[in-house]
Every structure is written in C-alpha cells, then in structure tokens.
Amino acid sequence: MKILIIEDEARIAKRIERMTNDFFEGNATISICDSLKKGIDFLEKETIDILLLDLNLNGRDGFEVLSTMTSRSFQTIVVSANTEHALRAFELGVLDFVPKPFDFERLSLALGRSISTKKEISHTIRYLSLRKSGSIKLLELTDISHIQGAGIYSEVHLFNGTKALHDKGLDALEKILPSGFERIHKSYIVQTAHADQILVSSGSRYSLQLKNGEVLPIGRSRYKDFKQQFEKGID
C-alpha cells in the first residue's frame, strides 16, 4: 500500500503518518509533501493507492487541484478543518472527509473505507472528473448511462452516445458512486434510472436492456439482488 500525505503543518502530517502506519500495521509506504506543488510533482512521478489531502496549504486552496486528484486512479481522503467545504469535496468524488481535529478511530474509518470491498451508499458525489488532453472535465452523473471495465481503467458511457476513459477502475468507482448506480457484472456498473427490462435467456443467462436498446450482461451472482432492486424501482 502506497500512501501520500499532503499537509503543510509538520506536526499534523507526522500524526497522520503515525496513525496511518498503525492502521496498516507497518505494511504501508508513506510519503509526505508539505505543499500542493510538491504533492503534484510527486504524483507525476509516483503511483499511489491513497491520498490524504489538506485543503488549505500555505494559503493555497486545495480545491485548485481536487478535481485533478479525484480523476486519478487512487482514492482521495480529505483531512481538513474546513468542514464547510465537505459537501463540495464529496460532489467532486472524494472517498471521505475527515474533519480536524481527528482521532485514530475517525481516520481509521476513512482508511478502512479505502480498502473495503463494500459499496458505500451515503455519498453526495455529483461529478466524475476526467483527465483529457491535459485538462480536467467534470461530468454530471446524470449524463452517465453506464460504466464498463477497461483493464485497470473504466470506460464511461454517456447518454449522448460518447464515451470517455476514467483512470479509476470499476472497484474504485463503485465505492464512491451513489445509490442509483449498481454493479450488475464484474465488468459493468449501470445507472438504474436508464434500465428498461431484464432479459432471461436459456442456460440461466441474464441481461439488462437499457432504454436506448443497448443490452448489458448481468452476472449470475448479482442477478438476484439486482432483480429485487430493479423491481422495487418500478413498483
């Protein structure tokens, strides 16, 4: 597990480092950067799993780069005293917002979510941020039809027929997407509002037809739970 802490107060950075190291029982490689610039430079050279980010760094607003951070493959956890910005941070796709002052229990909860395989349902995420041609584009979730796994990345399919590549894989996206987005297959997440009907074929094969006519496979292990949720949605 590779972790980066971007925090300009050395005492707090060391405290986060110590608690994070305790949580992972010493099985993590932890780096610290004391400015956004150093953090961005680090991320251009290194691959990480988790970013712990303060929002106010030497007077610079962490929101300047937050959408850039959430477009990357790693999960971003904000650790900040600026709790009035929590909603905005969640809208941009952070995994968690840990308010200062914090204790080991609260930080552990956030770190636990980063490695959990369970889908979270309490997020207020509104956008997916995508890196494209050297810039960041914010996609409204309401514009997304479904998301398809593409190796370590994900392919985001929009209602207008276009698609875009996201640096996060399906497992990482599943953790931050709100209810209304369901994993129906190891390779697909669908926005259920765009689902039309479930199709059953011979040999116990299941599919989901979208309102635009496109058909996606439903994994056998996910069929029962998804069928129940789908039927609730049309009652």
Write the pLDDT tens digit of every residue in 7-19.
Answer: 999 999 999 999 9
Domain with CATH 2.40.50.1020 in the chain: 135-234
Helix (H) or strand (E) holding 97: strand 96-99
- Per-residue pLDDT of 127-169, as tens digits, reads 999 988 778 889 999 999 999 999 999 999 998 889 999 999 9
- Per-residue pLDDT of 29-64, as tens digits, reads 999 999 988 998 999 999 999 999 998 877 667 777
- Per-residue pLDDT of 177-233, as tens digits, reads 988 899 999 999 999 988 999 999 887 899 999 998 999 999 999 999 898 888 776
Determine whether 119 is exposed, middle or buried from the number of CB atoms within 10 Å of its CB (0-12, 13-18, 19+).
middle
Does the structural domain 135-234 have CATH classification 2.30.30.30? no
Domain with CATH 3.40.50.2300 in the chain: 2-115
Helix (H) or strand (E) holding 207: strand 205-210
Among 213, 220, 154, residue whose Cα is nearest residue 181:
154
Q: How long is the chain?
A: 235
Of 3-7, 91-95, 102-106, 123-127, the poorest mean pLDDT is in 123-127
CATH class of 2-115: alpha beta
Q: Long-range pairs for 176-181 at CB < 8 Å and ≥24 separation?
A: 176/75, 176/93, 176/94, 176/95, 176/120, 176/123, 176/125, 177/119, 177/123, 177/125, 177/141, 178/121, 178/123, 178/124, 178/125, 178/141, 179/121, 181/141, 181/144, 181/147
Residue 116, SS3 per DSSP:
coil
Instruction: Please state the rounded mean pLDDT for residues 106-132.
Output: 83
How are beta strands 50-53 and 2-6 bridged, if at all? parallel
Q: Please give the pLDDT value at position 31.
A: 98
User: From the DSSP assignment, how many helices (H) and strands (E) are in the chain?
Assistant: 7, 17
DSSP state of 102: -
